[in-house]
Amino acid sequence: MIVKVCGITNAEDAAAAIAGGATAIGFNFYRPSPRYIAPEWAAQIVTPPGVRRVGVFVNESRAVVEHIVMLASLDVAQLHGDEAISEYPAGTVVWKAARVSAGFDFAAYRNVRAEALLLDGPAGELYGGVGKAFDWYMAASAPCRIIVAGGLDASNVAAAVALAHPWGVDACSRIESTPGKKDHKKMNEFLQAAREALHL
């Protein structure tokens, strides 16, 4: 089971997330994002064994993703762009991200060849999350392992888990004080509620 805190930009937030029970932390390598972190800085944020280091990428070339995976010691490449399966990085676990809106077709992801499908809320033409939830009940019909993201915090993560039956959950913007800086109280409340909902 995965409980992920995404948008980590500094060691203090990473340490607090891990102390609160996060099993994965996410680094955003999409330059237009207000949560962007340089791979060199992410590499300096130390995590203990057992906590997955996840890199968020949007339409980066396979070579660039593979380079950053090595540089930042990542365990997972979370792909938010329009990458074809042939463009997935070699030798790296992939989580494929998809934005869920009305009429979303899970059949397109039946052979996704990723460890998990990360389901995020609708974001229009924007890439990455914008803190909006989707209809979690839709996720229960997914043909693969899923991680629910988009608009999660302590107030609703239990409902998301109850409706979607996910392998994991992922929070970012609703547990922040400002973009890229976590509110440790909100983050800890989310982590506690998520772990209880997932029976961790």
Where in the sequence numbering do the catalytic residues fall? Answer: 6, 120
User: How far, in whole angstroms, is CA 170 from its chain's centroid?
Assistant: 5
**What residue ranges in 21-137 does DSSP mark as E strands?**
24-28, 52-57, 76-79, 93-99, 116-120
Reference 139, options 157, 161, 112, 110; nearest CA is 161
Backbone angles phi, psi at 189, to 5 degrees: -65, -40
Q: Is the dihedral of CA 28, 29, 34, 38 positive or negative?
A: positive
Alpha-carbon distance of 77 to 3, in angstroms, equals 16
Angle between helices 184-197 and 157-164 (to 10 degrees): 30
Are 155 and 143 in contact, with CB atoms under 8 Å apart?
A: no
Alpha-carbon distance of 116 to 118, in angstroms, equals 6
